[in-house]
Amino acid sequence: MIFLLLLLSSGLRAAAPAPCRAHLELHQQDGFLTVTGRCQSLLATPARYRYELSLLRESTGGRSQNTQRGEFDVAPAQEVSLSQARVNASAQDAYRIHLRVLDLAGHTVAQDSVVQGSVR
């Protein structure tokens, strides 16, 4: 019985809070879409992470894909700009944008994504 209670209580523990918040900023102007990947630290200590920003766009003219990766340091409570991509964009285009922030062991710690239209 005690084992069962311990097993049940271990399953009720809250997951560790995310160490940072990833978010995408989109800005469309003059036929271009500018995407900026950002990360805000939620920790009281400095940290080092990796990121991956991928953008897939489909239009009547074809398909394009852009992936950017890197490592970055972030101070406590600091927000940093990770990467920026700019592509032609019209109302008829479909795109999928995904930002992942990973710890140095390769585990995803934060992510954000945007999808518009139907990307195959």
| Residue-wise DSSP of 35-82 | EEEEEEE-SSS-EEEEEEEEEEEEETTEEEEEEEEEEEEE-TT-EEEE
* pLDDT score recorded for residue 48: 98
* pLDDT score recorded for residue 1: 44
Total-model pTM: 0.82
Q: How much helix, strand and coil, in percent to the nearest 5, is found in the chain? A: 10, 60, 30
What are the domain boundaries of the chain?
Answer: 16-116
What is the rounded distance in angstroms from the CA atom of residue 16 to the CA atom of residue 9? Answer: 16
* Confidence band for 9, pLDDT divided at 50, 70 and 90: very low
| 47-90 confidence digits (pLDDT tens) | 999 999 999 999 888 899 999 999 999 999 999 999 999 988 88
The CATH code belonging to domain 16-116 is: 2.60.40.2420
* pLDDT score recorded for residue 120: 63
* pLDDT score recorded for residue 92: 86
CB 100, CB 113: distance < 8 Å = no
